Structure 1
Amino acid sequence: MARVFQVTAGSSRSGRRRAGQPTPAPVEPALARRAGIVAGYLAPHPPHLVYAENPPQNEPRSTGGWEVLRWGYEELRRRLRAHRPDVLVVHAPHWITMVGHHVNCVPNPRGLSVEPIFPHLFRYHYDFRTDVDLAEAIVEEGERAGLVTSAMREDGVRVDYATIGALHLANPDWDLPVVSLSANNNPYFYSDASLAEMETLGEATRTAIEKTGRRAVLLASNSLSHLHWDTEPDLPEDMGVERPFTHAQYAGDMELLQTIREGPTARLKEAVPAHIEATSSETKAGSLTWLMAAMGWPAIAGDVLAYGTVIATGNAVVEWVP
């Protein structure tokens, strides 16, 4: 059972008192604020989850739905706050760039993001801050690593719904600066052929974070199994019709999540390509591989906070703390 459902009576401090153990000294502030990647999350972006939350920024109104996944995001938000990050860095599959990897360097992106397939669910007014110094550093480190990397500085360019969806669900207050990275389109043509390049991008991201002295939380904004319905019910949030596309798709997701729960993350180097082949997984866009590489493929297990389907696609909210 995931830790989200487990509660220990009393605090660790009171437990030590009962056991007669000394209470450790407080952590020094300088150590507590150590720079680097403090946590990483698999943070899927289905527009339905934002729609179901009814935030004021989104024009359509709903009656709810997909509660288990949304409860997982509630727990993600609680944990994210405890990590006290300076910035959120997100890699999203739907900012697709044909040539190389782009980094959003616009200081204050704002506008209306519309999901092209579900405009009746997602018409979101966004207004957020970019950590431009970190964004420029990621461009520089990517170029130094041999990647084709570009800085997007065109004010007024519309931000894709996958980026907005993951950022809203992780931090609906929008009170933290952001860096967003594009998904090079190659994976959609060549399956998992570009995952090695995503490892290089992850390493460049980590180097930039450390050099700029940031405490960063990373968000990999992709779903898992990705076959989905081509029609929807009259009430989009009708949970009576929500289920996996096939049992095989569900079983593939469970096999990958079991690998994540067991750890270490290095096992995902083989598990992710196998999952892509078996389930048409959206991880082919490279977000999960980027996340693991940025964290240095730590020898830990992931904590699965929630799993559920959205129009039959598999979605999991997962935390890794290096």
Structure 2
Amino acid sequence: MSEGKILAGFLAPHPPHLVYGENPPQNEARSKGGWEQLRWAYERARRSIEELKPDVLLVHSPHWMTQVGHHFLGVRHLKGKSVDPIFPNLFRYNFELDVDVELAEACCAEAAAAGLVTQMMRNPNFRVDYGTITTLHMIRPQWDIPVVGISANNSPYYLTTKEGLGEMDILGKATRRAIEKSGRRAVLLASNTLCHYHFHEEPQPPEDMSREHPQSYEGYLWDMRIIDLLRQGRTQEVFQLLPQFIDEAFAEVKSGAFTWMFAAMGYPEIPGELHGYGSVIGTGNAVMEWNLERHARLASAVAA
């Protein structure tokens, strides 16, 4: 068996409004569109997934919250209805997905061996959270690639940010080891928004884009600063700024997916590709890609 590898990582935010705006048959709510810049950004990301042809998609979602340990989906086939508790008027999604249980168990074991508290989720009637479902739908609406779902242990909120994100760093490195041993060609999905300041009242209709804009100008400036650094491949600087970004922009990356993904990829100092940026109820959302496969291919060509 050849060694597995991480093909790419995506910053893949999960506002349920994007699914609502797309009107897929799985979602009960209907719209007249909206949030096109972000939906089109995901269309560009989908083309990359099609080219990469991964064996598995791994997603870390802040809306599968676990108080004790890092949990992994451990049921081969899950089916049900995922409802956003804040926006049930927008997101009532009938999901059906296949889980790569073998890889999930390997990730769980590697993380436990590294000192983390971990657990497999074995409930066959488990309702998968809307963050996981939204990110997976937006990146691969065909639902034809097995997944590994990972919970967001709340350690960054109950411990210090540094301690909590330290756990996510360990989790990411354990994930990488599991992938390499598995022989899988994997894509990582960090289901995170950037600035998370948001409005508290919904327009009617919700898809009225004349009412959509960043809730916080300071948060928007922070998003642009972080995105610009990521586009330049200045990863180390981003992580030096991350605690301040989290504090001043209420950034959802505090929940850990962003750190998990970059730790698994080895914190590459390569330019990220921005597919698009937009606000959803005032929050800042960027769809970005770090294509390790393409970067390695170009580096080999230059060396030759």
TM-score bracket for this pair, using the shorter chain length: over 0.9
**Which amino acid letter does the alignment assign opposite residue 210 of structure 1?**
E
* Matching residue of 1:164: 133
Which of 255, 276, 282 is matched with 2:246 structurally? Answer: 276
Dislocated runs of 4+, deviation >6 Å: none
1:174 deviates by 0.1
Report the Cα offset of residue 190 of structure 1: 4.2
Letter in 1 for 2:128: V
Partner of 2:289: 319
Q: Distance in 2 between matches of 1:137 and 1:246?
A: 41
Alpha-carbon RMSD: 1.3
The answer for the alignment partner of 1:144 in structure 2 is: 113
TM-score by length of 1: 0.88
CA distance in 1, matches of 2:40, 2:291: 20
Map of 1:66-105 to 2, 5 A cutoff?
66-105=35-74
Which residue of 2 is the match for residue 186 of structure 1? Answer: 155
CA distance in 2, matches of 1:62, 1:190: 40
1:232 equivalent among 179, 184, 202: 202
Letter paired with 2:16: P
Alignment match of 1:153 (pick from 122, 129, 137): 122
Q: Which of the numbers 81, 84, 100 marks the counterpart of 1:115?
A: 84
On the 8 A contact 2:3/2:180 being kept in 1, the answer is no
Match of 2:143 in 1: 174
Are the counterparts in 1 of residues 271 and 290 from structure 2 also a CA contact under 8 Å?
yes
Shift of 1:175: 0.3
What's the counterpart of residue 210 of structure 1?
A: 180
Q: CA deviation at 1:304?
A: 0.9
Aligned to 1:303: 273
Gaps of 5+ in 2: 293-304
- Matched to 2:133, the amino acid is I
- Is 1:242 paired with 2:212? yes
Answering whether residue 224 of structure 2 is matched by residue 251 of structure 1, we say no
Q: Percent of counterpart pairs with the same letter?
A: 54
Could you tell me how far 1:192 is from its partner in structure 2?
2.0
The structure number with the bigger radius of gyration is: 1
* Higher mean displacement: 267-276 or 148-157: 267-276
User: Matched residues in 1 for 2:6 and 2:234: separation?
Assistant: 18
Tell me how far 1:272 sits from its aligned partner.
1.9
Q: How far apart in 2 are the matches of 1:278 and 1:210?
A: 37
CA 1:83–1:34: 2 relative to 1, 3 Å: farther
Cα offset, 1:88, TM superposition: 0.2
What is the total number of aligned residue pairs between the two structures? 291
Q: Is the 8 A contact 1:191 1:284 kept in 2?
A: no
State the 1:246 CA deviation: 1.8
Q: Distance in 2 between matches of 1:188 and 1:279?
A: 15
Q: 2:160 and 2:211 mapped to 1: Cα distance?
A: 30
Between the aligned partners of 1:203 and 1:313, the Cα distance in structure 2 is 29
The separation in 1 between residues aligned to 2:248 and 2:77, in whole angstroms, is: 40
**Aligned twin of 2:16:** 47
What letter corresponds to residue 256 of structure 1 in structure 2? I
